[in-house]
Amino acid sequence: MSMDIDVVVLWVDGNDPAWQAEKQKYSGKKTDDNNAAHRFRDWGLMQYWFRGIETFLPWVRKVHFVTWGHLPPFLNTDQPKLHIVRHEDYMPKDALPTFSSHALEANIHRIPGLAEHFIYCNDDMFFTRPLKAEQFFDEKTGLPRAQFCELPCIFKEYWTAYTVSFARNMSIINKWFPKEKVSLKAYWGKYLSRQYPMGDNIRSLALKLLFPTYYTGFRAFHSPIAFRKSTFEEVWDKEEELLTQTTLNRFRAIGEPNPVLFFWWQMVSGQFMPGKIDNEIIGVTAETLESACRDISSQAHDMICVNDPDSDIDFDACCAKVNSAFEKILPVKCSFEK
């Protein structure tokens, strides 16, 4: 592929005493589901993340590794593809220090030297099979690949921080993109595609016919996502006040948009090409641990997200087994390691 494609990943070592001390200075409140400790703990898997990049995505131009300041002890900082990005390198001074991934994610287009085309990852998202650049970006148009699927928002039980962000995202999408302006004819080939599961196509078509004036929600893929930097600039141009407030929140706050907004914006604005996302989200619990490790070691999917559960687990035991599963498919040290 002729275009440069970068990867951006946010990482934090929640075990770092210096980071913990700084976080404690600013928190001063009871922990909620937005800022619970399990959202910051490190599973010790980042070497497999880098091995996956080098083994399965060798065409990546640069890896932008975003960090508060600490680094994994294994990391080879002299690797020419590696760009270590500290928060102060791209975040506004009045927003620092920040412990909000939403703030950091909303501003990643400001990372110095970032290519127009990039793939964004959380540090719990791993590449487990060989992938081509064409699976993320269309060669002819330069547009990111995405899997469109309108899926109604379903709110039940108590409102979590995520569901409130989900609702805020949808309000912004419907504000700027009236659904009735997209003709049924325009759905064919992009919003409906042979690359998507048949059930998703049927649902999207039905929701277009049943709710022609507004979008009811979308599937949110918790996976590596292809973006263009210009999409972030466009959203900022339209929603500067809201995104500025999100940037200034030191901790993730209920009611602010999350990065899914930028993904959905790409789709409803038509700035994408159809693609298939083969990603599995694994919530590692005592009940799912064995099947999760089997899926990792058998390379059952292109990408796997190892999601830290909200429930209590034997963290050390789970961590050891998940590490062992990754070691089976990525046993060789890569150039990003010392």
What pLDDT does residue 40 have? 52
Domains in the chain, CATH or no CATH each: 5-148+217-275 (3.90.550)
What pLDDT does residue 300 have? 94
What pLDDT does residue 161 have? 73
Nearest to 104 by CA among 30, 240, 11, 195: 11
Beta strands 5-11 and 273-274 are: unpaired
Per the document, the length of the chain is 338
pLDDT < 50 regions, the chain: 30-39
Q: Which pLDDT tens digit goes with each residue over 265-318?
A: 999 999 999 999 899 888 777 778 888 899 999 999 999 998 776 666 677 778
- Residue type present at position 178: P
What pLDDT does residue 265 have? 97
Contact 300, 278 (CB under 8 A): no
What pLDDT does residue 41 have? 60
Measured distance CA(61)–CA(64) in Å, rounded: 10
